[in-house]
Chain A
Amino acid sequence: DAKTTQPTSMDCAEGRAANLPCNHSTISGNEYVYWYRQIHSQGPQYIIHGLKNNETNEMASLIITEDRKSSTLILPHATLRDTAVYYCIVRVDFGNEKLTFGTGTRLTIIP
């Protein structure tokens, strides 16, 4: 059963911020939100993850709502190389729980 819901596809103009939403209304208190992306013909790449506080790294920012039922991945200045499928995954962050991927959001950056 899918734990997350994401739009199938989105477009974003090059140089603008890309905001990718994710709904995870059944998230448990000990589940983290992870984001990976997959560029064509490559394996998935880790982007960022968080529990309840907003997170930022060199690739992106993650905004998690206060009730934790949804989150947004923000790519602040999208480039053509950000064109990829973006996966939002919820996962207990210890033990042996594996990453379970959905179908993700296909983000296309428009020149």
Chain B
Amino acid sequence: DTGVSQNPRHKITKRGQNVTFRCDPISEHNRLYWYRQTLGQGPEFLTYFQNEAQLEKSRLLSDRFSAERPKGSFSTLEIQRTEQGDSAMYLCASSPRQTTNEKLFFGSGTQLSVL
């Protein structure tokens, strides 16, 4: 399967611990997005990369959150000092950069539970 891959699928952690998620986009897709989704809501934008450059960050992305995309390939999202409010599904999406008709391809997400 050559879709967007996210690991782990599920993560349970205790409040105050740090967690890191990984996203492997579709090969040669140079845009990569992170979204967060809570129960009953649509996905909320967190940040996105054009190759290795992080071009935009949402106000939702507090200073406890950091995302990287070294070498413009896979990406990691780290949450430091987790809080119960961080419990959510974290979705990654990638797309080939096009001037029009941009379609995002999403992974199946990482479900984070903070106890």
Are A and B subunits of one complex?
yes
- How many chain-A residues does the 8 Å CB contact rule pick out? 20
Chain B, 66-103, CB within 8 A of any chain A CB? 91-93, 99-103
A99 to B31, CA, bound (A): 13
Residues B41 and A103 in contact, CB atoms below 8 Å apart: yes
Q: Is B107 an interface residue (CB 8 A)?
A: yes
Q: Which of A43, A94, A100 meets B107, CB within 8 Å?
A: A43
Chain A residue at minimal CB-CB distance from B111: A41
B113 → A minimal CB distance (Å): 14
Q: Which residues of chain A have C-beta atoms less than 8 A from B42's C-beta?
A: 85, 87, 101-104
Q: Which residues of chain A have C-beta atoms less than 8 A from B99's C-beta?
A: 94
Binds B, one of A13-21, A44-52, A67-75, A76-84: A44-52
Q: Which residues of chain A have C-beta atoms less than 8 A from B55's C-beta?
A: 96
Chain A interface residues (CB < 8 Å from chain B)? 36, 41-46, 49, 85, 87, 93-94, 96, 98-104
Give the one of A85, A96, A98 with max B CB within 10 A: A98
Give the one of B40, B43, B109 with max A CB within 10 A: B43
A36 to B102, CA, bound (A): 13
B12-34 vs A, Cβ < 8 Å mask (1 yes, 0 no) = 00000000000000000000010
Residues A44 and B40 in contact, CB atoms below 8 Å apart: no
